[in-house]
Amino acid sequence: MSTDQMHAGDVYATGVADEADAEGARVFNAAGGDWDTIADEASALHEERIVVNMGPQHPSTHGVLRLILELDGETVTETRAGIGYLHTGIEKNMEFRTWTQGVTFCTRMDYLTPLFNETAFCLAVEKLLGITDQIPERASIIRVLMMELNRISSHLVALATGGMEMGATTVMTVGFRERERILSIFEMVTGLRMNNAYVRPGGVAQDLPPGAIDKIRDAIPAIRKGLGELELLLNENPILKGRTVDVGYLDLTGCMALGITGPVLRSAGLPHDLRKLDPYCGYETYDFDVITRDSCDSYGRLRIRIDEMYESLKIAEQAVDRLQATPGPVMVEDKKIAWPAQLAIGGDGMGNSLDHIREIMGTSMESLIHHFKLVTEGFRVPPGQAYAAIESPKGELGCHVVSDGGTRPYRAHFRDPSFNNLQATAAMCEGSQVADVIVAVASLDPVMGGVDR
């Protein structure tokens, strides 16, 4: 068989004659893929360009991102983001679990903001159930408190990892030190540092444990002091300003065209914050400011995140005061929906205490059967669809759920802000230096778990 005949049946074979190895067997040279397409374009235009794969790895992102950079010397002439390396199938998996079990999946999307993922999903489910106004006030206050603490922990990681990528190790150590204070609170309240599955349709999994309010009150001044240290390290640092001022520039027109939200949009001067514009969980009753700047660059986004953490501490203090004055249940009263929310811990630190189990089993056989069916089969949600959106640390996080009347979602889809914000990489990076790409991507603060869900 001739070489041409062999090539005719192989779309990946090159047009050059194949070589033979030492034993006489033919050696095929594979070709094709996006690299060759770009190289062919460059040769056709008679330009000398270099195409570099930055990744797939962690260029100041929380997850696996591939950036395809086309370079002219040190200048970036074209940028493309390659995603999908962290795909988990979370949305599809949620179709095979009950509505309550879905919380355990979506909390793992943007794993730096688990409580926001859970709340967006639960607000959408509650809208479908028609119980939005029946959520106990105490449960809504706890949701606000936990989300604002989570906002601080997410921003701290954004600053810490962004600083580390620029060579500022101290920013990393201080940022993670302060985040530990918040994660210890999460662990005390939910039992877990991350992927909490704490917010449930109808309320929250359980009330704050004894001593939690005092611990949060003690932690807030310590966190505020740590933020002051970060400000001293960052705000007027000439090296940092040299790396971030006018880097990753994206003005309001670009943000609107690409659907960008969060600190990136607010760095362009637009005070867009769903906590003010479309309040949920009672945010309209809290006193806080929407932070904006008009620099449109990476430095402005850094300063916005620092100022937003102070505002979150203000909201957390208000929430703690309200919790002390607002006793009551933390789960909706409708027993056809409500999972047990007043759980007790046994002597081994696990599960429900024996007293709690005796009470369930001793009340009535009917209540025990109902409890069993509610947990194993789940509750039914009327047919229809609903969309709920909240202001996550990265921007608008929306959840669209569709029900066919069963105990499982027909479809659950999330508008993750990192997915939309990553569209800005080309606009931010093209025309800049290679080193500035890292800073621009860090200022977006994308988490690939949310992008590839």
Domain ranges across the chain: 119-247+263-339+351-416
Confidence of residue 304 (pLDDT cuts 50, 70, 90): very high
Across 167-178, average pLDDT: 90
Give the confidence band of 30 by pLDDT, cuts at 50, 70, 90.
low
**Predicted confidence (pLDDT) at residue 1 exceeds the cutoff of 50:** no
Compute the average pLDDT of residues 92-119.
Answer: 92
Q: What is the pLDDT of residue 312?
A: 95
- pLDDT score at 35: 61
Q: What is the pLDDT of residue 24?
A: 62
Q: What are the residue ranges of helices labelled H in 9-136?
A: 34-44, 90-94, 102-106, 114-129
Q: What are the two backbone dihedrals, phi and then psi, of residue 26, each rounded to the nearest 5 degrees? A: -70, 145
User: Considering the domain 119-247+263-339+351-416, what is its CATH architecture?
Assistant: Orthogonal Bundle (1.10)
pLDDT at 189 over 80: yes
- pLDDT exceeds 70 at position 340: no
Name every residue whose Cβ is closer than 8 Å to that of residue 276 and which is 6 or more positions away in sequence.
Answer: 283, 284, 290
Band the pLDDT of 179: cuts 50, 70, 90.
Answer: very high
pLDDT at 307: 93
- One-letter amino acid at 357 equals I
Mean pLDDT over 361-371 rounds to 72
**Percentage of the residues of the chain whose pLDDT score is greater than 90:** 46
Q: Which residue has the higher pLDDT, 253 or 355?
A: 253
Lowest mean pLDDT among 10-14, 246-250, 366-370, 437-441: 10-14
Between these two residues, 156 and 350, which has the higher pLDDT value?
156
What's this model's pTM, rounded to 2 decimal places?
Answer: 0.85
The H-assigned helical ranges of 68-168 are 90-94, 102-106, 114-129, 137-165
